[in-house]
Amino acid sequence: MKEKEFTQILAGDMLATCSAACPVHTDTREYVQRLSRGDYEGALDILLEVNPFPSVCGRICHHPCEAECRRKEIDSAVSLRMLKRFVVENTKEYRLARQKKPAEKKEGTVAIIGSGPSGLTAALDLALSGYRVRVYEKDTKLGGMLAHAIPRYRLPIEALAQDIGDILAAGVEVRTGCEVGKDISFDELRKENNAILIAAGLSESHSLPIPGVDSKGVLLGIPFLWDVANGLRPELGDSVLVVGGGNVAIDMARAAKRLGPSKVYMACLENRQEMPAWKWEIDEAEEEGIEIFNSWGPKAILENKGAVTGIEFKRCTSVFDDQHRFSPKYDESETKSVEVDSVILAIGQRANLDFLAQSPVAVDRGRLQCDRSSMSTSERGVFVCGEVMTGPGSAIAAVGTGHDAAKVISHFLETGETLKLAQRAVTTIGELPSATAALAKKFERVEVSLMDADERIKTFSPIEPGYSESEALAESRRCLACATGAYLKPLAHCAGCLTCVRVCPFGVAQVDKTAVMPAQLCQTCGLCAAECPAAGIALSRFATNGMKDTLRAILSKSDTAKIARPLVVSYCCLNETTSRKFLGAQTDEEIVKTGILRVMIPCVARLSTLDLVSPIELGADKVAVIACAENGCFYTGAEELLGRRVKRVQKFLDEIGVGQQNVQLFKTDSSAEESWPLIWEQFRSTPAQADAQGELLKEGASR
């Protein structure tokens, strides 16, 4: 890649497409790469830098990052949501230990109305900045819609509790069961605080202005989900129809199915392609026996003696106008009736802003008036965030607005001025070109199987198993680590020899006076860096160029006189590990006792000739290079180039009298955990060869 591109990437000015798609710009590549190296705790650190709700997002996020994953041009996107879930589920003790402590307090108090993801995110940021923050929640549980409207088969309450636990540990005060406007007035909050943040969400459902809507058996969607999430059983008939086509409507239909009706239907204005619900949600609903009627609008609720008997629809011919504004059109002559006992309305949500009735904060026809660029209302010192400002959205988008709200409130408390947030222009590395994608090896995405549909509709237990450790490691290694590839080192001498062009398996490397590896094309294999005669090419991630210094640092901490001989430095392909048994750093005692120094490399084919001979210089007796299983390498041609490099080193060692048998190339057979110890045992038991020349080589390196 060009030096300018490399600088942009390091500065965060050029994002991978996955990170750019995330509303909070999670450093997706970094947490996935840390996971792939067995550093689950480091991966959690990356997640928590920008998202205080990783447990929630690991379960229910609509994962826009996956939609923009460049790997989908090769086979299919990396399962980033499931990897996030694996990280949080395997770092629970570490997460408790790393909880942030309350910051030293400074002047300024903030009241936050609502405890959904936006309000709690802002509360955490402000508390960590030293402000006293108190969250007011009308219910007895924190979490807003996450706690009260997401069915437990999707989001177990324990997952939400993990995230909220971190927030409370940082010193955020809460008052649950306290409804602003009833238990405490808005005016009282204004007098007691320097700023107020309205994060009330959209907690009420819209109804329909059609005949029969007040009949017994018609339920509003949000109260229905609220009851279900809190363990209550709303009264339903044997046949239920949900009006609506979004994700909330899907939740309602699937929750209703679990309450026992023999038939559950959905009906919406949109055709199948226009439905706002996520495709996988629709597919799972249909697997569970829910029948969907597309392009039908409700005309009337049919009733007998005040109780629902059915619903009549009229054909919807279009939902949006030419400017894609909601403007449904109907063919009144085409109607349809469905016999049902219960109807649940899921046609939209609104905020309850009654607490602002006697305040100077402007509300127009039920909508809070605000300036979204400064997140401010008509009243000085009163701010807004979350869905009450943006309209319906995702949990992670709400988190993003919470971060922004904390910024503007901090600025206001420090300066007394309103801050207008700058619109950051996000530059990405762009899509993976099809020509490059065509040269990449395909590796199937690791999927998990949901509980069988016939079984999952009997319970509200979670229906989606998480990854096992081996599955998570395998999936994380499918990540391309986009834009972290090769670049010509500053001041490096490039002779324009075209070696990089010749060995690049993706046709990426170019020579334009000097070597160039365009960031949007490079696939981070590292072969050009390993083969460059001038050692002028480096990798911005997983570089092996400094391997000699790394080995020297490790060996300097160990008592080499006590190390069991022969001492074997073993370069291992970490992509073959199925647990982190071999991925963590070794203790000095382990190296001394076993005589094995493991060095984990994402691809051993990126080891240069110098990397292969350095261990002998530094005092090791043998070097084992353990590559991946047969045909398991991610990079075409890498195994052949590595084999040639090893042979060159063996020839050199023979010439100086060290002996070629002291550097050997092996392949992983079965799992790493099973085959590597056998390789080490066999290799160590083979007599090493060293003469005066070899000893001089080691002695010279130690000086």
DSSP 420: P
Radius of gyration of the chain (CA): 30
* Count of beta carbons in the 10 Å neighbourhood of residue 265: 20
Q: Which string of DSSP letters, residue by residue, matches 451-477?
A: PPHHHHTT--S-------HHHHHHHHT
* Count of beta carbons in the 10 Å neighbourhood of residue 297: 21
CA 697 to each of CA 326, 556, 658: distance values in angstroms, whole numbers, following the listed order: 78, 18, 9
- Least confident residue range of 1-10, 91-100, 605-614: 1-10
CA gap 526, 538 in Å, rounded: 8
pLDDT (tens digit per residue) in 101-121:
888 889 999 999 999 999 999
3-state secondary structure of 310: strand
CA 465 to each of CA 149, 255, 451, 457, 499: distance values in angstroms, whole numbers, following the listed order: 21, 19, 8, 16, 47
* Count of beta carbons in the 10 Å neighbourhood of residue 59: 24
Question: 195-198 and 537-539 as β-strands: parallel, antiparallel, unpaired?
Answer: unpaired
CA nearest neighbour of 595 among 575, 573, 615: 615
pLDDT (tens digit per residue) in 135-153:
999 999 999 999 998 999 9
What is the band of 543 on the pLDDT scale with cuts at 50, 70, 90? low
pLDDT (tens digit per residue) in 456-496:
999 999 999 999 999 999 999 999 999 888 888 888 889 89
pLDDT (tens digit per residue) in 286-341:
999 999 999 999 999 999 999 999 999 999 999 998 888 889 999 999 999 999 99
For 196, the token pair is 């107020």
- Least confident residue range of 26-40, 86-100, 185-199, 541-555: 541-555
For 365, the token pair is 């026809």
- Domain layout of the chain by residue ranges: 17-98+443-476, 109-203+351-415, 204-348, 483-543, 544-702
Torsion angle (degrees, nearest 10) of CA 175, 181, 184, 187:
120
Instruction: Determine contact, residues 383/405, Cβ cutoff 8 Å.
Output: yes
CA gap 475, 85 in Å, rounded: 13
Task: Describe the crossing of helices 395-415 and 117-128 by its angle, rounded to 10 degrees.
Answer: 40
For 236, the token pair is 């339903």
pLDDT at residue number 697 = 43
3-state secondary structure of 504: coil
Q: Which string of DSSP letters, residue by residue, matches 599-642?
A: EEES-GGG--HHHHHHHHHTT-SEEEEEE-STT--SSTTHHHHH
- Topology of domain 17-98+443-476, per CATH? Fumarate Reductase Iron-sulfur Protein; Chain B, domain 2 (1.10.1060)
What is the band of 562 on the pLDDT scale with cuts at 50, 70, 90? confident
Instruction: Determine contact, residues 530/486, Cβ cutoff 8 Å.
Output: no
What is the band of 557 on the pLDDT scale with cuts at 50, 70, 90? low
Instruction: Determine contact, residues 337/300, Cβ cutoff 8 Å.
Output: no
Q: Which residues of 437-462 are buried (b: 16+ CB within 10 A; e: fewer)?
A: beebeebebbeeeebeeeebbeebeb
pLDDT over 70 (residue 606): yes
CATH architecture, domain defined by 483-543: 2-Layer Sandwich (3.30)
CA gap 359, 48 in Å, rounded: 37
3-state secondary structure of 318: strand
pLDDT at residue number 558 = 64
Instruction: Determine contact, residues 151/109, Cβ cutoff 8 Å.
Output: no
pLDDT over 60 (residue 275): yes
pLDDT at residue number 490 = 85
CA angle 473, 476, 477 (to 5 degrees): 90
pLDDT at residue number 692 = 39
What is the band of 632 on the pLDDT scale with cuts at 50, 70, 90? confident
109-203+351-415 is a CATH 1.10.287.1120 domain:
no
* Count of beta carbons in the 10 Å neighbourhood of residue 582: 19
For 698, the token pair is 């080691």
Fold: same for 17-98+443-476 and 483-543: no
Instruction: Determine contact, residues 532/499, Cβ cutoff 8 Å.
Output: yes
pLDDT over 50 (residue 96): yes
- 204-348 in CATH: which number? 3.50.50.60
Its pTM stands at 0.91
Burial class of residue 579 (count of CB atoms within 10 Å of its CB; 0-12, 13-18, 19+): middle
Averaged pLDDT of the chain: 91
Mean per-residue pLDDT for 432-459? 93
CA 386 to each of CA 57, 76, 133, 419: distance values in angstroms, whole numbers, following the listed order: 16, 32, 17, 18
pLDDT at residue number 693 = 38
